[in-house]
Amino acid sequence: MGLGSEISSAVKWDSPSVDMQGTLRTAINKMVNNGVSALVVKSGDKVVGVVTDMDFMRCIAKGDDLDGVTVSSFMTSCEVISGKKIKIPCIQLDTTQSVKNAIGLMDLAGVHHLFVAGEEGAGVISAQDLLRLVVD
């Protein structure tokens, strides 16, 4: 592997998701139980955003009620880029992008997770996933 490798091998296509009306507690439990640092947010079957471990930390630090705050109030809203016109695109790559390009995009955008578009649908890749490819 290395910086020139494609990101396809590190993408999590079965990324866990949470409903946008789910509670902060439900979302944290799902993240912890799945051992991930980001969850795809859905409304029905449609991807509408993402929440990360840092979003949860901010809510907890503010003193938000774990059972009273819904995911919709703190998620990053976006739509997965497709052939349709969309209002709020997610930061995303396709599977053929290099590790170096993905890391550069994360740095530029100031994020630790990217959506990845591919034949399998939409997946998620984290900074940690990319760093594993760098050293493998």
Q: Identify the CATH number of the domain in which residue 64 sits.
A: 3.10.580.10
Residue 73 placed within a domain: yes
Residue 108 placed within a domain: yes
Residue 114 placed within a domain: yes
- Please name the residue ranges forming H helices in the chain: 24-34, 53-62, 99-109, 127-135
The pLDDT value given to residue 69: 96
Residue 2 placed within a domain: no
The pLDDT value given to residue 68: 95
Mean per-residue pLDDT, 119-132: 84
Residue 1 placed within a domain: no
Residue 20 placed within a domain: yes
Q: pTM for the full model?
A: 0.78
Residue 78: CA count within 13 A, CB half-sphere: 16
If 0-12 CB within 10 Å is exposed, 13-18 middle and 19+ buried, where does residue 83 land? exposed
Tell me the residue range of the domain where 42 lies: 7-135
Mean per-residue pLDDT, 24-32: 96
Residue 78 placed within a domain: yes
Residue 92 to residue 7: CA distance in whole angstroms? 12
- Please name the residue ranges forming H helices in 84-126: 99-109
More confident residue, 122 or 15: 15
Q: How confident is the model at residue 89 (pLDDT cuts 50, 70, 90)?
A: low
**What's the number of domains the chain is made of?**
1
Q: How confident is the model at residue 92 (pLDDT cuts 50, 70, 90)?
A: confident
If 0-12 CB within 10 Å is exposed, 13-18 middle and 19+ buried, where does residue 73 land? exposed
Residue 110 placed within a domain: yes
Neighbouring residues of 31: CB distance < 8 A, sequence distance ≥ 6:
16, 37, 38, 39, 53, 56
